A and B are shown apart, each in its own frame.
Chain A
Amino acid sequence: MTESPQNAPRVLFLFTEVFAHGGIQRFNQTILDAATRLGIHCRVLSLNDSTAPAASHPEHRNLSVVGFSGNRRRYALAVAAELLQGRYDRVLIGHVNFLLLAIAVLVLRPFSRAPTMLVAHGIEVWSGIGWARRYALSRVDRILCVSHYTRRRILEQAPALAPDRLVIFPNALASSWGRVATVPFARSLPAHFILSVTRLDRGDRYKGIATVIEAFGMLADDSMHYCIVGHGSDLPFLRLVAERCGVRDRVHFMHGISDSELIALYQKCAAFVLPSGKEGFGIVFLEAMFFGAPVIAAEEKGALDVVRDGETGLSVRFGDTVAIKGAIERIQSDGDLRERVRANGRSLVVEDGPFTFTGFTRRCAEVFEVGEAAAG
Chain B
Amino acid sequence: MCGILGLFTLGVQPPAETFAAALERLKLRGPDDSGTWRDECVLLGHRRLAIVDLSATGRQPMESSDRRYVIVFNGEIYNHGELRPRLNPRGAWRGTSDTETLIEAYRAWGVDCLSHINGMFAFAIWDRIERTLFVARDRMGVKPLYYSDRNGSFGFGSRPGALSMLVGDGGLEINPEALRVYLELGYIPAPLSFHRDIHKLPAGHYLLANARGIRRVRYWDYRSIKPDLAMNSRPEGDLVEELDALIRDAVKARLMSDVPLGAFLSGGVDSALVVAAMKGAGVGHPKTFTIGFTEEAYNEGPAAAKAARYLGVDHIHETLDVNSLLDLLPAYIQEFDEPFADSSAFPTMAVARLARRHVTVALSGDGADELFGGYHYYPLIDRLAPMLGWRAGTRRSAGRLFNSLPWHRTKLLAGALQCSDVVGLFHFLRSVGKDYAPLVNPDVLQTTATSESWFAQFATGLAVDLSASENAMRLDAGLTLPDLFLQKVDIATMAYSLEARCPMTDYRLVEWSMRLPIQYKVRHGETKYLLKKVLSKYLPADCVYRPKMGFAVPLAQWLRGPLRAWAEELIHDDALMSRLPLDKARVRDLLRQQLEGDRESHPLLWSVLMLLCFVQNHAERRAMPVMAYREVA
Give the size category of B's interface with A: 20 to 34
The reply on B411 being an interface residue by CB < 8 A is no
Q: Are A211 and B461 in contact (CB under 8 A)?
A: yes
The reply on A318 being an interface residue by CB < 8 A is yes
In the bound assembly, the distance between CA atoms of A262 and B218 in angstroms comes to 32
Q: Are A321 and B221 in contact (CB under 8 A)?
A: yes
Q: Are A210 and B216 in contact (CB under 8 A)?
A: no
Query: Which residue of chain B has the shortest Cβ distance to A218 in the bound complex?
Result: B217
Query: Which residue of chain B has the shortest Cβ distance to A322 in the bound complex?
Result: B221
In the bound assembly, the distance between CA atoms of A319 and B460 in angstroms comes to 7
The reply on B464 being an interface residue by CB < 8 A is yes
Query: Which residue of chain B has the shortest Cβ distance to A203 in the bound complex?
Result: B421
- Contacts A220-B215, A318-B224, A322-B221 known; A244 to B457 CB distance under 8 Å? yes
Q: Are B449 and A240 in contact (CB under 8 A)?
A: yes
Among B110-160, those with CB < 8 Å from A are none
Q: Are B224 and A210 in contact (CB under 8 A)?
A: no
In the bound assembly, the distance between CA atoms of A30 and B191 in angstroms comes to 47
Shortest Cβ distance from A315 into chain B, in angstroms? 13
- Contacts A206-B464, A208-B460, A240-B453 known; A319 to B223 CB distance under 8 Å? yes
Contact partners of B191 in chain A: CB under 8 A: 244
Q: Tell me what chain A mostly uses at the interface: helix, strand, loop, or mixed.
A: helix
The reply on A320 being an interface residue by CB < 8 A is yes
Give the one of B220, B223, B224, B462 with max A CB within 10 A. B224
The reply on A300 being an interface residue by CB < 8 A is yes
Among B218-244, those with CB < 8 Å from A are 218-221, 223-226
Q: Are A321 and B216 in contact (CB under 8 A)?
A: no
Shortest Cβ distance from A27 into chain B, in angstroms? 22
The reply on B556 being an interface residue by CB < 8 A is no
- Contacts A240-B453, A317-B224, A319-B223 known; A218 to B216 CB distance under 8 Å? yes
Q: Are B224 and A237 in contact (CB under 8 A)?
A: no
- Contacts A208-B460, A210-B460, A211-B461 known; A319 to B221 CB distance under 8 Å? yes
Contact partners of B456 in chain A: CB under 8 A: 205, 237
In the bound assembly, the distance between CA atoms of A211 and B226 in angstroms comes to 16
In the bound assembly, the distance between CA atoms of A317 and B514 in angstroms comes to 14
Q: Are B457 and A320 in contact (CB under 8 A)?
A: no
In the bound assembly, the distance between CA atoms of A300 and B465 in angstroms comes to 11
Shortest Cβ distance from B243 into chain A, in angstroms? 23
Shortest Cβ distance from A370 into chain B, in angstroms? 39
Please pick, from A240, A241, A320, A325, the residue contacting B224 in the complex, using a CB distance under 8 A. Answer: A320
The reply on B463 being an interface residue by CB < 8 A is yes
26 A-B pairs within 8 Å (CB atoms) are namely A205-B456, A205-B459, A206-B464, A210-B460, A210-B461, A211-B460, A214-B218, A214-B461, A217-B216, A218-B217, A218-B218, A237-B453, A240-B453, A241-B457, A241-B460, A246-B216, A277-B465, A278-B464, A319-B221, A319-B224, A319-B464, A320-B223, A320-B224, A321-B218, A322-B219, A325-B217
Interface residues of B (CB under 8 A from A): 191, 215-221, 223-226, 449, 453, 456-457, 459-465
12 additional contacts, CB 8 Å, given A210-B460, A320-B221?
A205-B456, A210-B461, A211-B460, A237-B453, A300-B464, A317-B226, A319-B221, A319-B460, A319-B461, A319-B463, A321-B461, A322-B218
List 7 A-B pairs, minimum CB-CB distance, nearest first: A319-B224, A277-B464, A319-B461, A210-B460, A218-B217, A320-B224, A322-B221
